[in-house]
A and B are shown apart, each in its own frame.
Chain A
């Protein structure tokens, strides 16, 4: 065949579903493209958080005692709970995708609601933690007092943390800067995700996904799981530094 510009008829694909965009040859191509595009977007997200992970690694090595002390002011109960909440929401989202794939509208709506509720719970717990930091003067820049580490107060029912020398105590501000930057960016991703969840919920109730056009849900699923993965790393890095001390 010596005629490249002559057409190849897409006879194999017969009728196209209504939601297939005109420039795609087939539904499979559209689907693959969408999820590939989503993955590439997630790569940019990896690198976005990557910058902060690099900073974390540098300063953790430099100011290890400050990182330990800062980490010990975080509530391990709330942190663990939140990890559980987020993992569960990831699970409900995965179930949502499954329901959408198998065209179970009721299941999809339920999964989305559960995911939304769990996401809200996560943010709620996070805001409790943030509030606690604010009360304790642990918010870098705005309300920070290194002396709380030089003269640590004993929590009720617990022994006081060992005091830090002033110079190291001052470096806890670096820890909290990273803590707020990393969890803040993570929370921002959660908030964006919640907005999308509400949108999808409305669409699902309207029955927009009943025809099998579920690329949006699948790709959102990828996004949501990615947010979960970020937290899976943030949790041990921020909460679990030398808890045995």
Chain B
């Protein structure tokens, strides 16, 4: 578990520009896709599709632009922890708002 011995041997991973170009293109395409999707009549699925595309885009940025794909387990865990706390904040707050409508008392 000790920090430095493990990682001093690990060489810096340099992502090739080709991947960056590929990711940037994908991101731009997804932007177009999300705009297009918002003009479709999908009912409640509009929001789901928009969010799904946004999550996908964000994952691309995190994994490749921000090198998480090539980083240590600790970094991946850190990102996960942030996401978890964020979802806690949103989810637990919404637990109040959603269930307020259930029962009038």
Contact = CB atoms under 8 A, between A and B. Distances in A.
A–B: direct contact at CB < 8 Å: yes
B78 A36 contact: yes
Interface stretch (A54-62, A161-169, A197-205): A54-62
A51 B47 CA distance: 20
Nearest to A107: B17
12 contacts: A25-B4, A31-B12, A32-B72, A39-B78, A43-B82, A101-B12, A221-B65, A225-B65, A232-B58, A236-B50, A242-B46, A244-B39
Contacts of B34: 235-236, 240
Interface string B40-76: 1100001100110110011001101110000110110
Q: How large is the interface on A (under 10, 10 to 19, 20 to 34, 35 or more residues)?
A: 35 or more
B3 interface: yes
A208 interface: no
A195 interface: no
A69 interface: no
Interface in A2-33: 12-13, 25-26, 28-29, 31-32
Given A101-B12, A236-B50, A90 B65 contact: yes
Q: How large is the interface on B (under 10, 10 to 19, 20 to 34, 35 or more residues)?
A: 35 or more
Contacts of A93: 65
Contacts of B64: 94
A34 to B, nearest CB: 12
A98 B17 CA distance: 7
Interface of B: prevailing SS: helix
Given A26-B4, A76-B35, A240-B34, A229 B14 contact: no
B105 to A, nearest CB: 20
A35 B53 CA distance: 27
Interface stretch (A81-89, A137-145, A149-157, A186-194): A81-89
Contacts of B23: 91, 94
A73 interface: no
Interface in B72-90: 72, 74-75, 78-79, 81-83, 85-86, 89-90
A98 B81 CA distance: 27
Nearest to B17: A98
Nearest to A99: B17
A95 interface: yes
A228 interface: yes
B78 A90 contact: no
B75 A91 contact: no
A216 interface: no
Contacts of A206: none
B95 to A, nearest CB: 12
A47 B81 CA distance: 11
Nearest to A24: B4
B28 A46 contact: no
